[in-house]
Structure 1
Amino acid sequence: MSVHVVMVHGIRTSATMWRAQVDHLRARGIPSTAVDLPGHGARMDEEFTLDGAFATIDRAVRTAAESSDVLLVGHSMGGLLCIEYAGAESPPPIAGFIAASCTAIPRGVALRTYRTLARGVDRLPRRGAWLSEQMLDRTLPPETRRDFGAGGYAYDAQDVALRSLSVLDLLAALRRIDIPLWFVNGQYDQLRVNERLFTRIAPDAELIVVPRTTHLVTAMRPQVFNAVLDLAIATLEALPAGRVSRA
């Protein structure tokens, strides 16, 4: 069975952050879908809601699952949403899952601190865009630098999205995921904070830590992340036919 890759972006970014992966998959003849969540990218004028985000992911997954096995890939906020989605009590029709830069529980002091910092940056001139641009200029390679922000930055959706994440029950969801699962983190990613807990709850998952890499692992090391995609696709292609229900 062929594999279709569905990719879900992180907070403030958009589907354009996946262009290096889309190009890589296209060159291999593998179909892919990179979604824009509500309030992001081409849907910037919409309000971000968890229901809307899950509906977006589910629509892309079920459309792809009509003809292919689905590899779901989520980064940062998108990864957290995808953990909750993949671990639903009624499992969605996905064959494998890559959770990138999202081994953290978005609750408590850590979430409050992050929201406070984000609000502070948002009050800077140009909403702190110049600060983000400098950081990206210094950390991202030329082949992904422009793509990462090509869809614009969803400043207005940021705080409501962060607040919404606190209701996710990620640990319960992780316990229900019984498909091939890969955690991918950059060595210096601040969202590695609960990495050991996540891997303990999902002991069959494979943990891949990319050296000398920050939170933006997909854009900072695109060739490495593409290799992880290739690994996951090869794994799914080797599974027995009909393993995943498309009901």
Structure 2
Amino acid sequence: MLPVVLIHGIRLSATMWDPVASHLSHLGRPVTAADLPGHGTRAGEPFTMDAATSAVADAVDALGGRALVAGLSLGGYVGIAVAERFPERVAGLMAIGCTALGSAAGPHRFAASLAARKPSLANRISAYGLRRLLPGPAGEAMVAGGLFCEVMPQVVDAVAGHDQLAALAAYPGRVWLVNGTRDPFRVHERDFLRACRNGRLILVPRRGHLGVMAAPRPLARLVGDLCDQADRLPYAQADPRV
């Protein structure tokens, strides 16, 4: 089976994927979730896009050197950069909730700056909000590995400084852009889709930015299905009609 590497969102950690990873493991799918610099087990490390993509590439190598890469929000943007930098390692890309261009970064940069000024307070507020938004195991998984608001300005700058459309255009493999229909990060999804050589847009009804994580079992099934599709052909021979 094609392995999966999962990438977390901003200020979160690899534990956010625990419920999904558990379902994938029960299906026999090799899976790991990577902590990005400045997050989780790598707290305190500077966040750059090069360092983040190297961390993901290391996780892919630990699973055999080729995997489906799936990320949410920041994880999706990093996944796009990984596909650009290490296309031979990325059998397919599942980019969730990450189809807003850097031109929309202004409000996020301001919010990140505020959060980084008082990270302990921002982390407590984030934990409360995440548990309210995603009651039960999904919300607990979001906060289990800690929260890291202090790194948010570095993350926003790195994402805004990366040309996601050029990165998608450079990657020859399969790309699935997945958005909740209520996700404000959908704003440029058609531009992202047009940039893909071999892309498909999947919309999840009635879900917001993080709401796609509320149902781990269906999300795991979708990840597994996309793995099966990505594994049919080597990335350089992927057929956009499939």
Matches within 5 A, 1:53-132: 53-66=52-65, 69-88=66-85, 91-106=87-102, 108=103, 110-122=104-116, 126-132=120-126
Residue 76 (structure 1) shift: 0.7
SS of residue paired to 1:78: helix
Change in Cα spacing, 1:114 to 1:226, as seen in structure 2 (3 Å) is same
Cα distance, 1:104 vs structure 2: 1.3
| CA distance, structure 2, for counterparts of residue 244 and residue 28 of structure 1 | 24
Deviation at 1:196, TM superposition (A): 1.1
Q: Does 1:167 align with 2:161?
A: yes
User: Quick one: structure 1 residues 153 and 204, their matched pair in 2 at CA, closer, same or farther if it must change by over 3 Å?
Assistant: same
Letter in 1 for 2:71: G
> Aligned AA for 2:126?
S
Work out the number of aligned pairs and report it: 236
Stretch deviating more after TM superposition (54-63 or 130-139): 130-139
The two structures have a TM-score, normalised by structure 1, of: 0.87
Which stretch of the first structure deviates more once superposed, 3-12 or 124-133? Answer: 124-133
Residue deviations 1:35-76, cap 9 Å, x none? 10111001112222222212101111223234xx41111111
Note the residue ranges of structure 1 that are not aligned, 5 or more in a row: none
- 1:154 positional shift: 1.0
1:204-215 alignment, distance < 5 Å: 204-215=198-209
2-structure distance, mates of 1:126, 1:58: 31
Deviations 1:117-168 (A, max 9, x none): 2333555694234433343233214121111111111111111111122221
Maintained 8 Å contact 2:123/2:148: no
CA root-mean-square deviation: 2.1
Is the 8 Å Cα contact of residues 54 and 81 (structure 1) preserved in structure 2? Answer: yes
1:156 is matched with 150
Equivalent of 1:226 in 183, 196, 220: 220
The alpha carbon displacement at 1:172 in A equals 1.0
2:41 maps to which residue?
A: 42
Identity %: 35
* Pairing partner for 2:170 from 176, 181, 203: 176
- The aligned residue for residue 29 of structure 2 is 30
What secondary structure, in the 3-state scheme, does the structure 2 residue paired with 1:92 have?
helix
Q: Which residue of structure 2 aligns with residue 133 of structure 1?
A: 127
What amino acid is aligned across from residue 79 of structure 2 in structure 1?
Answer: C
1:40–1:154 CA contact under 8 A, matched in 2: yes
**Structure 2: which 5+ residue stretches go unaligned?**
237-242
Query: Given that residues 98 and 183 in structure 1 are in contact (C-alpha distance below 8 angstroms), is that contact kept between their aligned partners in structure 2?
Result: yes
Partner of 2:196: 202
Are 2:2 and 1:3 equivalent residues in the alignment? yes
